[in-house]
Amino acid sequence: MGGTDQGAALALHSETVRPEWIDYNGHMNVGYYVLAFDHATDALLNHLNIGDDYRRDANCSTFVVGSHVTYQQEVTEGAGLSFTTRILGSDAKRIHLFHEMNRSDDGALAATNEVMVLHIDMASRRTAPLPEAVQSRMTEITAAQSALPMPKEVGHVMAIPAPK
């Protein structure tokens, strides 16, 4: 599946809700939302040429260090899911990204996922600068997507308000 970098979120991944992902409530279990979003993250990393082949060849990889999922609409067994991805920001060692999961049948927003990814040198198990070509590519994508409105879910804080 291809994606365009021309000012739109990247459409790099889709999949179908598997029977084993369904919980006792008859909808997709929360853990499988994270798995599906991880597949979308892998699609972005492959798009940036820092996926599994890169890990083997460069002995570098990426680690997710923070993730926040919001659940908007239920998804059930057999539902088609399409994902779009935005790079909200990046620097030499980090990628801040945002995924939307939509139901394929009606286009409804099912869930969102905000993720912070670190680039890791696997020999030292410490952060390391991304290749310059990848940094440049992320800067281009971020600039192309900059006119898109910031998703309301970004930076969302969970809390129970203090009693008045």
- Predicted pLDDT of residue 1: 40
pLDDT tens sequence across 98-142: 999 999 999 999 999 999 999 999 999 999 999 999 999 999 999
Cα–Cα distance list, 75 to 2, 16, 42, 108, 159 (Å): 24, 10, 21, 10, 26
Average pLDDT along the chain: 95
The band of 164, judged by pLDDT with boundaries at 50, 70 and 90, is confident
Show the domains of the chain with their CATH numbers: 14-145 (3.10.129.10)
What is the value of pTM for the model shown? 0.92
Average pLDDT (46-63) is 97
The band of 5, judged by pLDDT with boundaries at 50, 70 and 90, is low
- On the question of pLDDT at 36 being above 80, the answer is yes
Average pLDDT (90-101) is 97
Average pLDDT (27-40) is 98
> pLDDT exceeding 90 applies to what percent of the chain?
91
